Chain A
Amino acid sequence: MMLHVAKEAVEAARAAGAGYADARFVHEDSESITVRNQEMEGIDRATSEGVGVRVLVDGYWGFAATARPEGAEIARTAGLAVEIARAAARLPREPVKLTEVDPATGTWASPFRDDPFNVSLEEKVALLMEATRRMQEVEGLAFAEGGIDLYRVRTSFASSEGSAIEQTVLHSGAGLDATAISGGELQRRSYPNSFRGHIAAAGWEHIAKLGLIEEAERTATEAVELLSATDCPSEVTTLVLDSGQMELQVHESIGHAVELDRVLGMEESYAGSSFVSPGDRGKLRYASDLVSITADATIPGGLGSFGWDDEGVPAQRVPIIVEGTFQDFISSRETAGAIGGTSTGAMRADGWGNLPLIRMTNINIEPGEGSLADIIGDTKDGMFMATNQSWSIDDKRVNFQFGCEIAWRIKGGKLTQMYRNPNYTGITTEFWRSCDAVGGREDWTLWGTPNCGKGQPAQTARVGHGTAPARFRNVQVGVR
């Protein structure tokens, strides 16, 4: 670990005139393997390291980062951060004030059993070769794809308030993707979830138990069956979502909407703002009584789990929505202070070269009761949709439209006709208020979203969502 580099950068920033400074030395390793139709599509490893220095000068922010954190370059980078902060003061604003936080010292590492970087390439490739071989045995399948993604991030954080932290997070994931093409239709099924499968804060033991080989044939068969299915009809109906699609539903229509930087207009020009305002705390009826949402950075296995965020604030479990009523935002030391609160510890940066932003931790729906089968069995007439395929939502997180890979008609508590190209649309609060069933712990899964984009320059974060299947009433499906 390189805590001494972070400390040196903080000292240099203070010497250059910073009132507050923090610095992160980050070393990242990643490995990605993709196999398609039993041929290698890509295998690559990447490493990157550097240091980012963030400063406050007279209440104005500056940030600079370098990939050569050695010698005079550290002081030069710290000095540049100070120069940037001084330039920001050209446009007067209320000086930034950070909420108090006790200086943190210590180490933290995400738990795992088997280091996936020590598993042989032969074993990894063999797993994907066998899974895609089994998918290819299904007649009519065009492409059988499998992928493995591994990430390890080591961060050394120091601040001028005395924090000195070293953390290591390890994320591992894998998945399958089956594509069938015929007659102007392209249909896809994924396992365990779309967009590179199921990624978690874990080691090889997580990938080994995903059941890629066991589920390969079913995944491919459904993709082929979708080619001859009927298009999802356009109607207003009862909608049951599997936990995989609920991951996306929570992410887009709750997770982003409760980011306090968006609420305060700090992302207005890029990703947008939010329909939620500070005055909504404790008042806004966001959802039905059955819906409680928690931001939990302490849960094992989540992509949004850590010991401290990138401001040195300890990981927390924060109620966001309690029995349908909005309670609190995910926030930073700056933004929480602006509305008279304390940071919920949600600041994270993408690598060493970007400044930290408010990012989702693990935004989870608290489990209700019953299994997915119970919810479907309790539904007389409606639609069941599974696995996200497409997403779109407006700049205030109000109007959304999401597509899924597959749907079935529910009749008398049973799945009947299969539909292809299903999608649904709604208004965020109307939709969540119509929720009348949330599944229990037995079908609750802690998913990982590896591709959450935000900020300028663009940053990508890996965030978590623990979700259960759920049911919604009077939903418009089949938008054409």
Chain B
Amino acid sequence: MGVATATFVESFKARDWRHFDLQLLLYVLLLIGFGVAMGYSAGYNDASAGGGMTQTVKTMMWAAIGLILFFVVASVDYHWLRTLAAPIYLVVLGLLVLTMLIGTNLFGAQMSVTVAGIDFQFSEVSKVLMITVLAAYLAGRRDRVGRLSTILVAGALMAVPTLLVFRQPDLGTALVFVGILAGMLFMSGASLGWMGLLAAGVIGALPVAVSMLQDYQRQRLFCFLDPFADPQGACFQLVQALDAVGSGGWLGRGLTVGGEGQRGYIPVQSTDFIFTVVAEDLGFAGGVVLLALFGLLLWRILLVGWQARDAFGMMIAVGLASMLLIQVMVNVGMVIGIMPVTGIPLPFVTYGGSSLISLLFGMGILQSIRMRAHKPTL
């Protein structure tokens, strides 16, 4: 096809970069900066984490790699992803099966694969890749989008990786997959009636999924209903998190200061519970600023989707928006006791190379969509 070659060459044309969304990049950089500061504060009082420095340096290194990837991906025409949708899907399944087979054990779950001393959590990049796969499928079903078969096939495409991560068991990522599916189906224009019916089915199946969990996971999951039922046991983490968040007040206790107090009791505070650090150190003001940043970022992403040249681009944008929204909701929600406790990273803020690089990869695709939106085709 001559088209693909032409697009590839066009990718590097300078005029694309005039449409580069600076705001989108700005919010992303601010969020990463937020994460670096919070990670530093979280590690500050923990000697075993190297006084916070090691982690901070690592985060900056991952961010640098991620940003290079971001610009490279932005410069490439995102339609390549549509051409390659089928192989990408196979790669996703391969990565997740690989994780299951040779993954290292973390907290009793096989979630990552160690290569050359570096841990890769393939479930992170799988989320972004699955968005492109679903976008390719849904974009191709524009004229039959109202049919039940569209929803069923999209659901089946998503079900395989969802079950694979659920088996790890990585409850959080499974939840994000389901959220992405729901968001993208909704935005694709799928029949609301059928979607509602299927949603009811999924909710009905929840007790089965819950029964497949290990005891401690189940206990943690339901802590949010009554965290003080078992404050020293399964809900220890949540109770400590609530105390830490609550003690932040209006303006917080100051960076690195909070760590001397309550928050020190919270395990994995630099990862899944990073929001406690924000809330305790920077208080309500800091929390709201962070939420506002996510709001602004979501606005820019939805704008990219709205202005996208084609359905494929739009679907990718709303997929990424869905992913970010559900991760923010579940992660922040669990820390403040309105969501069950599951392991979901707070996008850009949670410490972790796999998550950060995958997100910047996704943001690169967004820029690519954005930069090609104003071509005279629509």
The answer to whether A and B assemble together is: no
